[in-house]
Amino acid sequence: MNKMTLSAAIVATAALFTGAANAQVDLDAVLSIDGTTMITRAPAPDFLDIDEVISGWVYRATETQALQMDDFENPGMIFVDVAVDDWNTVEGTEGKSCASCHVGGPEEFAGLRAVLPRWNEAEGKMFTMEDYINYSRVNYMGAEPLPLAKPRMDAMVALISLQSRGMPMNVAIDGPVADIWAQGEELYYTRVGQLDMACANCHEANFGNMIRADRLSQGQSNGFPVYRLKNAKLNSIQARFKGCMKNIRAEPYAVGSEEFRALELYVASRGNGLSVEGPSVRN
């Protein structure tokens, strides 16, 4: 039973008992949000040995799936609302907000989430969404950078990701990012930690199988930032990597480290073809 049905029980609505298919998984479910159908299954990119890439949404229980199919029910959208306020908040020495420069609103960034991380030629560095946000804050607003994987940053990433919802992931893996991508691939297949496991052991060799009471997904990043029912907040991609590494009893890399940045690029590329879903809902 999820947290939201619990509070609904207080007012004794029928909602509590409509989830007859408790904890069942419908692998053929179609994700449609406000009339837009998302691509949750796509042919795998050439470099993968698997045939099909599958969104983590497919593996979630029917009630969890339903939360994401309605923007009102999706608790991640609360944080999008919070980020809209932040978007208009003037901060820093230049007396500017996001809205001062981006007069077209967050909608200016339609499509951006689908191609990140990507190479930033001017800076000579690979940029994630967080990098872009902090770059603008520091250089144009004269404000402090937002800490990574903290609520304000995750909410802003959610707001900007939302503008690309439904667009297929299309991350470039060649050119200047080729070396970083290769580092990410290496990390993905390297066994670490006391349990001696690599990402691939679960998310490539065993997706769809049970791990304790939970069903393993392919570990796709198209739905990030993710609202998780277990901690009732948005979770960034790299914070999730950290959680995974703790689960296999490894010493996690730091959020923002070169290792996690490389892994973020590699994992994103594994999902090329899947719709951007952020902010999605998972357990």
Partner 1 sequence: MAEDSKPRVRVPRSATAGEAFEIKTLISHKMESGQRKDSDGNTIPRSIINHFSCDFNGENVIQVILQGAISTNPYFQFEAVIQESGTFTFTWNDDNGSVYTDSKDITVG
Q: Which residues are catalytic?
A: 244
Query: Least distance from C-beta 167 to partner 1, angstroms?
Result: 25
Question: Which residues lie near partner 1 (CB under 8 A)?
Answer: 3-4, 6-8, 10-11, 13, 15, 72-73, 75, 77-79, 81-82, 85, 151, 232
Which CB sits closer to partner 1, 86 or 264?
86
How far is residue 228's CA from residue 230's CA, in Å, rounded to a whole number?
A: 5
Q: Smallest gap, in angstroms, from Cβ of residue 11 to partner 1?
A: 5
The helix/strand/coil state of 275 is strand
Q: Are 15 and 5 in contact (CB under 8 A)?
A: yes
CA dihedral 21, 25, 28, 31 (to 10 degrees): 80
Nearer Cβ to partner 1, position 26 or 70?
A: 70
Across the beta sheet with 226-228, what order do the strands follow? 233-235, 226-228, 280-282
Nearer to partner 1, 26 or 73 (CB): 73
- Phi/psi of residue 231, each to 5°? -125, 5
The DSSP 8-state label assigned to residue 212 in this structure reads T
* Angstrom distance (rounded) from CA 169 to CA 116: 9
Q: How far is the CB of 235 from partner 1 (least distance, A)?
A: 14
Q: Toward partner 1, which CB reaches closer, 10 or 210?
A: 10
> Least separation, in Å, of the C-beta of 72 and partner 1?
5
Residues paired with 227 in a beta bridge = 234, 281
